[in-house]
Amino acid sequence: MLLKSSPDRYGAVAVSLHWLTVVLILILLWSGFLAGEAEGVRKAVFLRAHVPLGVTVLLLTLFRVVWWRRFDPLPHAAAGVPVWQERLARGVHVTLYVVLFAMAASGIAMMVLSGAAPALFGGGAAVLPDFADYSPRAPHGVGAFALIGLLAADAGAALYHHFVRRDAVLRRMWYGTR
């Protein structure tokens, strides 16, 4: 498999970024929902994983956008896919990126406005703030549910193409030559 994409499939860099980001987003959703229900030390434990992973996803997403814009254009639309499905897929992907950037922005804003970073990473016994008191908390929570919906739509479409249509749409985003 080539590092860069070909006209009909994604390259190793794009595939690796995609699947690494998927795994990290699932961990972020899990740790975020657990942190939302937890209190005290348990909440801090989840957030100590959640915050750096969120920054990592932001950096991977930025790198992904730069990679595609400057070094590795996206493959052409998959053969045999109706135009409306291709447009819908592109819309879901653009919305996914917008939500990822909005989640990062609201998460960073919560850390800055609440002053929670020293409580999480300062090593002291500082008390975590109540994040509900800070305005970025609501969009961060809504964004998590939007992210779940977008991921379900993307995965559902990929599985539909793989198992129902039996075309190469899902295989384009995996390692291999065929």
Q: Which residue's entry shows tokens 């070909």?
A: 6
Give tens-digit pLDDT for 11-58: 999 999 999 999 999 999 999 999 999 998 899 999 999 999 999 999
- pLDDT beyond 70 at 123: no
Residues 6+ apart with CB under 8 A from 66: none
CB hemisphere CA count around 71 (13 angstroms): 11
| Spatial CB neighbours of 20, under 8 Å, sequence gap ≥ 6 | 60
pLDDT surpassing 90 at residue 121:
no
pTM of structure: 0.94
Q: Which two tokens stand for residue 148?
A: 């779940």
d(CA 11, CA 32): 31
User: Going along the chain, which residue ranges are E strands?
Assistant: none
Other C-beta atoms lying within 10 Å of the C-beta of residue 78: 19
Considering the chain, what percentage of its residues have pLDDT values greater than 70?
97
CA-CA distances (angstroms) from residue 149 to 63, 114, 117, 164? 24, 28, 29, 21
* Residue 61 confidence (pLDDT) above 70: yes
Classify residue 127 by its DSSP letter: P
Domains and CATH numbers, the chain: 12-173 (1.20.950)
Asked if 105 and 143 touch (Cβ cutoff 8 Å), the reply is no
For 77, the 3-state DSSP assignment is coil
Residue with the two structure tokens 């295989």:
171
